Amino acid sequence: MIDPDRIQSVEHSKMAGLQAADAVASSVHYAVKINMYKETEPAYLQHLKQTIYRHKAEYLGYGVKVWPGALGELKIKAPEAENLEGL
């Protein structure tokens, strides 16, 4: 479970590995965020598909966490989040 009180912001130059985490996070972001042309870029997820952590073939809640709530709830507000289902 994610404790919101323990989440903190750290400049990526101050902690090793944050550049890689930023690259992955921004790839997921652009896969579900609608740009000014009303498009998303799910191809980023396809590049990450083989390396996303899974537990018993399940990636949601393990390698990809939707917060707050669940993917079903998010899709009601943001249908473009369906791009996450293609992993």
Mean pLDDT highest for which of 37-41, 46-50, 64-68?
A: 37-41
pLDDT given at position 37: 93
The first and second tokens of residue 20, run together, are: 């890689």
Q: Mean pLDDT across the stretch 7-25?
A: 81
Per-domain boundaries in the chain: 16-86
The predicted model scores a pTM of: 0.63
Residues 6+ positions from 57 with CB-CB distance below 8 Å: none
Residues 6+ positions from 75 with CB-CB distance below 8 Å: 81, 82
pLDDT mean across residues, the chain: 83
What are residue 64's DSSP bridge partners? 60
